[in-house]
Amino acid sequence: MTKVIHKSYNQNDSLLLPPSLGELIPSAHPVRIVSDILDRFDISEIESTYKGGGTSSYHPLMLLKVVVYAYLCNVYSGRQMEKLLRENIHFMWLSGMNRPDFRTINRFRSERLSGGRLDNIFTKVVGFLNDEGLVSLNVQYIDGTKIESVANKYTFVWKGSVEKNKAKLIEKVKGVLSAAEEELAVEEACGVPDELPQEEFERRANNILSRMDSMGTSKGKQRKSIEKTVSDSVARLDEYDRHLETLGERNSYSKTDPDATFMRMKEDAMNNGQTKPGYNVQISTENQFITNYGIFHQPNDQGTLIPYLESFVRRYGIQSRDIVADSGYGSERNYEYLFGGGMRPYVKYNLFHAEMKRARRNNPFLVDNMFYNAEKDFYVCPMGQRLEFAYKTKETSDLGYTSTKSVYTARDCSRCPLRGMCYKGRADRRSIEVNHRNNHLRAKARELLMSEEGLAHRSRRPIEPEAVFGNIKFNHGFKRFRLKSAEKVSVEWGLIAIAHNLRKYIACKQADKSKKMRETDFEEGYMNCYMAA
């Protein structure tokens, strides 16, 4: 029987020349690529946050490398990073055997990288990708998603409730003060204003209390009621004012993360449409690399497009030629900005796909299908009756944009045999509203969308930002922010974006290397066959 031989196994074996950690890490390992890329960037902005004095500090470049590589490895917890720095040879090599604790890591991530400092690192990473020929910055595929905040989902404040309760409290206070003033014959009893500023409320209450003191009723039941009303109401009014100041233009916020707004999330475990505190994250992609990102409070994408595109210009000093987005971004305001800025918007509007359907195209009663005489400004219905121009009306959106609509009315539709098919209103004549400016902009957008290049962009858009969001959320497990406040959330998403781009860059380089190896093997095999022949 053949003797079994085992390799030497001695846990207490000591080497004369112990190996370094670098010898245990392959030359093409992702940790080396991350380290090499970050070594190229100037981080003086981050270094300037250190005041000096006291004990020595961990090097910011080391901490930046550790945090970025941790996010690349799907590690988002400071405690887990601390553990890996003691157990994982890649992190040990990357940190040079430094072992900062989780407090140092978290403080570096939330404080040293805030204030736009990590944003500049992200810009430099995209610039590096541009130099490598992986992105051109000439096109932006834009989309957004809602990501839940770490805030408590039951500590909500709703603007409607605050305004309603504040109005009720003011009415109650006005009633109490007016009754007391009438009973005590205070001179200001008449002419109670609709609004009751806090200063006016306190002044009137003090006048009533002074009147009571002069009348010798300082210990009466009414005196105690007035004092309690004053003390309770002042505190509650202050609280309502603080809520309204924090809300601003939003309709809700979370008490544990005031920057988070309550939104409906796609990931709804209860399937009951419950709103949760979160942020609207917008990204631009090209070849599935993230080239820009932004954090917004408003749940809808329509109002984020203009400030988001302006952030792209601030970041790179240029604007992309082609802007590609779905129908959530198509509006008169956005089209006006895009066309006015010299961009080519391949952006759908809400009725784009509906207009392609035969049933809509063949419906003669729709305004879009009626004959319009632009010279004399009137429409003609299917029965040949004119709808003459009546007047113009203006509408202002929640975003402050004012659009103008023209109203056209028919003379008499009461005896029209097609009246029931034409409109459902009770009026004897039909009226229509037409936004000519919006229709003109939509026609220009439709022409772009239906062009050959537009079809190519439309077919590519679903595999650009949507695929990136899916990869980050489901393949890498990032479905919830771990930091509070919009500034820190922006830092966290910046780390996610940098990690995604570096991960994609490493995959591209490995694919290129494999392709070159296959081509080399093919050439060598061909030459061997040729020589043998």
pLDDT of residue 532: 46
Q: Contact, 297 vs 280, CB < 8 A?
A: yes
State how far the Cα of 339 lies from the Cα of 412, in Å rounded to an integer: 40
Please name the residue ranges forming H helices in 10-158. 30-39, 44-47, 60-72, 78-87, 89-94, 102-107, 117-131
Instruction: Specify whether the CB–CB gap between 460 and 141 falls below 8 A.
Output: yes
Instruction: Indicate the Cα dihedral angle 251, 255, 260, 265, nearest 10°.
Output: -80
Edge-to-edge strand list for the sheet holding 378-380: 371-373, 378-380, 386-396, 402-410, 431-434
- The angle at the Cα of 241, spanning 489 to 236, to the nearest 5 degrees, equals 120
Beta bridge partners of residue 372, listed in sequence order: 379
- Phi/psi for 141 (5° steps) reads -95, 110
Q: Could you tell me whether strands 378-380 and 261-264 are parallel, antiparallel, or unpaired per DSSP bridges?
A: unpaired
Q: For the whole prediction, is pTM greater than 0.75?
A: yes
- The C-alpha atoms of residue 241 and residue 171 are separated, in whole angstroms, by 16
Residue 63 burial (10 A CB sphere; 0-12, 13-18, 19+): buried
Q: How do 402-410 and 431-434 pair as beta strands?
A: antiparallel
Helix H or strand E encompassing 418: none
CA–CA distance, 68 with 36 (Å, rounded to integer): 13
Write out the chain's pLDDT in tens, 533 residues. 788 988 877 777 676 677 788 888 988 899 999 999 999 999 999 999 998 788 889 999 999 999 999 999 999 999 999 999 999 999 999 999 999 999 999 999 999 999 999 999 999 999 999 999 999 999 999 999 999 999 988 889 999 999 898 888 888 777 766 666 665 555 444 444 455 566 666 666 666 666 666 665 555 566 666 667 667 777 788 888 899 988 888 899 999 999 999 998 876 655 666 789 999 999 999 999 999 999 999 888 999 999 999 999 999 999 999 999 999 999 999 999 999 999 999 999 999 999 889 988 899 999 999 999 999 999 999 999 999 999 999 999 888 899 999 999 999 898 888 888 888 888 889 999 999 999 999 999 999 999 999 999 999 999 999 999 999 999 999 999 999 999 999 999 999 999 999 999 999 988 887 777 666 654 555 445 434 44
Place of tokens 């296959």: 518
Phi/psi class of residue 71: alpha, beta or left (left: φ > 0; alpha: ψ in -120 to 50)? alpha
Contact 366, 360 (CB under 8 A): yes
pLDDT of 308? 96
> Burial letters for 498-514: b for 16+ Cβ neighbours within 10 Å, e otherwise?
bbbbbbbbbebeeeeee
d(CA 403, CA 439): 12
**What is residue 174's predicted lDDT score, i.e. its pLDDT?**
73
From residue 529, give the alpha-carbon distance in Å to each of 69, 320, 453, 518, 526: 46, 50, 45, 16, 5
Q: Is the dihedral of CA 506, 312, 284, 287 positive or negative?
A: negative
Supply the pLDDT for residue 184: 57
